[in-house]
């Protein structure tokens, strides 16, 4: 498998700082819970929360829609739910990538049913060409073409998450 760098570690760090500043402005005086979607969002979320300059609590959810494939199955399974009550609180869902939008749409609806003050979404990567829902993320790191990417938390068959950059898999 060949990997071509799409986004350098420096480009990612700069954009994460900018997102942290924007989120900090938007959540001043709010009761913020940042919800990371396991496992892919862990690295992005870790860097992002260090750039957010307002008090926050973190929690995690886990879903599956890929298995060992490079394409989403379209079926979202909830593998881990929140440990934190979110009623009346502002929730920021942090995801590594949005392509079809099915997972993030499912999670947004599930969280909305728990009566939070608000639910917003932050994604590192957006693949708008693959969207199958009307969901538009509130905060987007980068919009990318429809290519399979790895690194900075994104994996292929549970490998390559540790890469400090986003790379495109080429055959």
Contacts of 62 by beta carbon, 8 Å cutoff, 6+ apart: 37, 38, 39, 78, 79, 80
Number of Cβ within 10 Å of residue 164's Cβ equals: 13
Give whole-number Cα distances, 156 to 8, 10, 141, 152, 161, in Å.
19, 22, 21, 12, 8
Instruction: Point out the residues that are catalytic.
Output: 99
Give whole-number Cα distances, 113 to 24, 59, 70, 118, in Å.
25, 17, 31, 11
Residue written as tokens 């068959």?
157
First to last CA, the chain: 6
């Amino acid at each position: 498998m060949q990997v071509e760098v799409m986004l350098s570690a420096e480009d990612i760090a700069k954009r994460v700082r900018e997102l942290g500043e924007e989120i900090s402005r938007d959540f001043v005086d709010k009761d913020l819970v940042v919800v990371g979607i396991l496992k892919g969002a862990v690295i992005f979320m870790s860097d992002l929360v260090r750039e957010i300059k307002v008090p926050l609590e973190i929690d995690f959810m886990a879903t599956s829609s890929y298995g060992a494939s490079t394409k989403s199955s379209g079926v979202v399974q909830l593998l881990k739910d929140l440990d934190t009550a979110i009623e009346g609180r502002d929730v920021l869902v942090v995801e590594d990538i949005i392509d079809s939008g099915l997972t993030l749409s499912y999670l947004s609806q599930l969280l909305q049913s728990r009566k939070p003050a608000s639910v917003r979404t932050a994604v590192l990567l957006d693949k708008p060409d693959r969207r199958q829902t009307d969901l538009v993320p509130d905060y987007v790191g980068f919009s990318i073409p429809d290519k399979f990417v790895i690194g900075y938390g994104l994996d292929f068959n549970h490998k390559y998450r540790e890469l400090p950059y986003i790379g495109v898999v080429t055959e």
